[in-house]
Amino acid sequence: AACLMKSPRLSYCGVDELASVVSKLDLQKHRPLNIGYEWGRYEPSVEFAQVATINVYYYHKIGTELLARDW
C-alpha cells in the first residue's frame, strides 16, 4: 500500500487505518474496540471467530482495491 500509493507513512499503519485510507471502510464499526486475545491459549468463541472473519475480509478488500487501481 505504501509503495503503490506513494505514501511512506502507510508502512506503519495497521489494518484499521489501511482499510480507511485504501477502501474508505471503517473497521471499528464491525468489531470490538478492545480485543486482546492469545489465539493458542484459549478455546475460540463465536465473537473471536467473527473478528477473525472480519479481519480476513478487510485484508481481501484492501488487496483487491490496491490491485485494481491503475497506478
**Contact residues for 13 (Cβ-Cβ < 8 A; gap 6+):** 1, 21
The structure's pTM equals 0.66
Render pLDDT for 16-40 as a digit per residue (tens, 0 to 9): 788 888 888 777 776 665 556 566 7
Q: Please give the Cα distance from 16 to 32 (Å, whole number).
A: 12
Q: Say which amino acid occupies 29.
A: K
Predicted pLDDT of residue 71: 64
- Give yes or no for a contact between 59 and 15, defined as CB atoms under 8 angstroms apart: yes
The rounded percent of the chain whose pLDDT value lies above 70 is 79
Question: What are the structural domain ranges in the chain?
Answer: 2-32+43-68
